[in-house]
Every structure is written in C-alpha cells, then in structure tokens.
A and B are shown apart, each in its own frame.
Chain A
C-alpha cells in the first residue's frame, strides 16, 4: 500500500508540480485581484502620498515635496501631543487588558460554579458594534443619569464628575472602556493556552512541593509565553489603530485630551482636506509601531533563547 503510493508520487512528481502550481494560481486569483487593486495598490499609494502636498478637491495639482511634511510634523506640537496620548492609550489598554484577561482566564480555567456566566459575559463585547459599546458607556458615565455617579453619591462621595468631559478623567475613562471592549479576544486566547498547559506538569511541580504561586510563576507562565507574546502584540497594534470607540465616546475631546493619532489624522484628511499631510502622519505611525514591535519581539525572542 505505502509502496504503491510512493511509486505513484515519484512517477507523477514533475508533471504534478507544475500543474498544481498553475492550479494554485487559478484558485487564488479571484481573491488576489481585489486585494491587489483595493489594498496593496492603495497602501503603496498611501505611503507615497505622505511625500506629497495632496489636498482634497477636484482640480488641485499634487506635487512631491520630499520631506517637507515631516519637517512640518516635527514642529507640530498638537500632533506629538496626540501621539503621546495614543501611546498612553495603546499601552494602557493593552497592559490592563492583559492583566484583567489573565485573571479571568485563570478563573475560567478552574472548576467554579457560574463559570458559564462569566464566560458568556466575557464574549459579548466581541459581537457588539464598537459604536454601541461607546453609546453604552456614555450612558454609564453620564454625569447626571449615569449609575457610576449615582453609586458614588449613594455612598456619600462627590458624584458630579463629568468623566468624559473633564481634562483629568477623560483619558483614564476611555482606557477603561477600551479594556472592556477588548477583553474577549485576549481572555479566550489565554484560556485556550491555559487549557493546553499539561496537568502532569502541575502535578509534578506540586509533588515537588511547589506552592500555587510558584507553580503559576514557573510552570504556567513559561508555557503560556508564546501565546502571551502573540496576543499582546496584536492587542497593541489593534489598540494603536483603533478609532470608532473613542470617536463616539469623546471625538477626541475635551480639549484634545483623548485625541488618538487615528482621530487626529482623520480630522486632518477629511475635515481639513490635507491628504498628503495626513498620509505623512500615517507613515510616522507605522514606523513608530514597527519600532515598538521590533524591540518587543526581539526582546522576547532573546529571553526565550537564554
């Protein structure tokens, strides 16, 4: 049986190869055409636009202007401020999300009653439109009607904070909403990873006298590491590029306190019509995120080797 199979494979190899290659191209072509036309090409075009003075409008001439956009950006304090806010947001959400999700995943991995309830609730945000999540939290954080202020008043604390409208509370408030919205993917991925950690390892460690905390630190975490790196990397990218949630929550206000780079670039492009300048911002965003990812992933790869 295995002999005939081998013989068949051997004799048919050269022809099959070239034929299967052509088949593969034919099968992939319908997917490739739209991707190239409406994704690869615009992306290349977008990167180039970052080096032009392109503007919205019908008969405006577009010229390459080299690094002029970037010189202008370098002194644009509003942009860098927005960049700083974007980094606080992306790292804040990613780190808190990871800690909260890890805790929840560890709980869901235990044999607790009502586990199904927590699991179901943890999944719901995944299915909700970001716009609806934002509307829901606007209700929660509403200064007069919202239950958060209501609760504060009930226990005798000052309950008149305008969470999304106050300079000092707006960014932390949207970060909390960001954590809520992104919990599902992170939790489920970590939970799946936990379920793959062999029970034997834990038993062996327990017999050797390792406590709960030691087992978590020396068995669970190292085993989870690849999954942790993968999901936090994705979370960081997603969060840095997120738009809808904060657009509906605060639209970048108050006074630009929650103006994420995506919102800033969107305004620049579609409110003020400075396409080239906005594309240049996009280029800077890509470079910054790429640098962070490079440093993070290289650090992870190194410490795994050692």
Chain B
C-alpha cells in the first residue's frame, strides 16, 4: 500500500506538468481562433493590409461593427433569421410536447417506430430529402418563402426535440401523476400543475436548442431561399465571403461575431442541462 502511494506520488510530480502542458495545447487550439476572430473585428482596414500586421488591434474601435450593421441586408437578414428561428421554436415546442409525453408514458408500438425514425433520420444525406422537398414546396408556392423555411426547420428539428423532451419527461416519477389522480385531479390539471413545472427546465433547454439549430442552419436555406431580401444570416455571411477583400476582413469578422452572439448566449444558459440530457439519452439508448 505504502509503496503504491509513494509510486503514484513520484509519477504524479512528473506527470502533472505534462498534463498542464497538454491542457495548454488544447486551450490554444480551441481558443486561439476565437481570440483571433475577435481581434480582427477591431482592426482598421489599414492595420489589416499592413505589411507587418500586429497581433493586437491598435485601439478598441467599433467601426467595423457599425459599418457591418449599416449594411442594410445584415439587419434584414437578422430579422429574417429571428422570425424563422422563433416561429420554428414555438411550433416545434407545441407539437413535440404532447408527442413526447405520449412516447414517455404510454407503452405502444409507436415508441419503437418513433425511436427508429429518429435514428434513421440521422443517416440519410440531406440531398435525398431536399430535392423532393424542393419540388413539393415549389408546387405549394413555398420556395423562396420564409414560411417554407419554417416548415422545413420544424420537420428537421422535431426528431431531436422529441428525443430530448421524452427523456426529461421519463425522468419525472410517474407516481406523482398517480398521486394527483388519486386526489381526484383531472388529467389536464395533473399535466398543468404537476408535470409542467417540473418539466420547465427541460422544456427551456429543448426550445433554446431548437432555436440555436434553426438560427445556425445553412444548407436548407441555401437551397430554398434565392431572394436577397429573404436571406437568413448564415446565407448573407456566406455571400459576403466570396466578395470580401483584405480590407473588409474586419467587417466580416464583426458581422460573424454579431451573428454568433444569440446562439452563444442561449447555449451558455442551457449547456449544463444539455450535456447531462445527452448522457441520459446515450445510456438509455
């Protein structure tokens, strides 16, 4: 026992610095690109094209942000993105809540079918879905329309939202509902008074995650939206990339940062719940 202890202490004094060194490596790899993006957003065009660019911007000026916002289509794109993401989130939450409850609480064949579909929907490449979807939406007049995009995002985020939500519902003891029923409460009352408050954190996490996925989505928007006035933020940013010169890198970086802020804030709120929810899903599945 004592020999084992001294052994491990000796190895620890050698290993610890190496561990910190490895962690430093990870921090640089993961953090440096972010830092560089932020710094670039504050650099003036002169600094960007200078032959000897400095790492830090010379001053903290917000010109790039102001100019990026001044470009009318960025504000328009942000409004489009917001509209699409909020609508998707509301619709997905409303229709996945009852379905998730049914999946978590009733033992029916549907459960197996739904789980199978959720997994299967991950395997198919989007190209197989988007071509017929494009044709269907075209017939309905929903190509080049934000409503069409909301529809596609709803269907596309539904499996994951359903999966997350039913996990949270399954985590609420069914005895609570039975106790309510014994006290004579109706099913609706039970759901409203007992389940909903307990489910609230999970519901928030699921909704915010749906919002983030819709806000960040690129492929479907690229195929379905042509009209510049209807572009979402990722589309506008991607178009910006082709046209950028060295001089405009600062504005591009600033616009990218602005587009990331909403997802980042929401993600910060839900990340603990999301990571624990994922695990329970992984272990059960």
Contact = CB atoms under 8 A, between A and B. Distances in A.
Q: Do A and B bind each other?
A: yes
Interface of A: 5, 20-21, 23-25, 27-28, 30-32, 34-35, 38-43, 45-47, 49-50, 54, 100, 103-104, 107, 110, 112, 114-115, 117-118, 121-132, 134-140, 142, 144-145, 147, 150, 180, 183, 185, 188-189, 192-193, 196, 206-207, 209, 212, 227, 230-231, 234, 237-238, 240-241, 243-244, 247-248, 261-262, 265-266, 269-270, 275, 278-279, 281-283, 285-286, 289-290, 293
A282 B249 contact: no
B127 to A, nearest CB: 4
Interface residues of B, number: 92
Given A135-B256, A234-B122, A275 B237 contact: no
B250 to A, nearest CB: 10
Given A124-B264, A207-B4, 5 more contacts: A34-B158, A118-B27, A193-B282, A237-B123, A282-B124
User: Which 5 residue pairs of A and B lie closest in terms of their CB atoms, listed nearest first?
Assistant: A127-B267, A45-B132, A282-B128, A31-B99, A129-B216
Contacts of A290: 123
B125 A145 contact: no
B127 A244 contact: no
A5 B20 CA distance: 57
Interface stretch (B30-38, B61-69, B192-200): B30-38
Interface in B162-219: 162, 178, 212, 215-216, 218-219
Contact of B278 (A35, A122, A137, A192): A192
Given A283-B128, A289-B123, A24 B102 contact: yes
Contact of B108 (A24, A129, A135): A24
Contact of A212 (B11, B20, B102, B263): B11
A278 B131 contact: yes
A237 B22 CA distance: 29
Instruction: Tell me the interface secondary structure of chain A in the complex.
Output: helix
A48 B99 CA distance: 30
B122 A24 contact: no
A39 B26 contact: no
A251 to B, nearest CB: 8
Nearest to A141: B33
Interface string B231-251: 001100110010000100100
A38 B155 contact: yes
A205 to B, nearest CB: 11
A262 B99 contact: no
B263 A269 contact: no
Contacts of B263: 127-129
B127 A122 contact: no
A24 B106 contact: yes
A39 B129 contact: yes
A189 B123 contact: no
Given A27-B102, A34-B155, A117 B126 contact: no
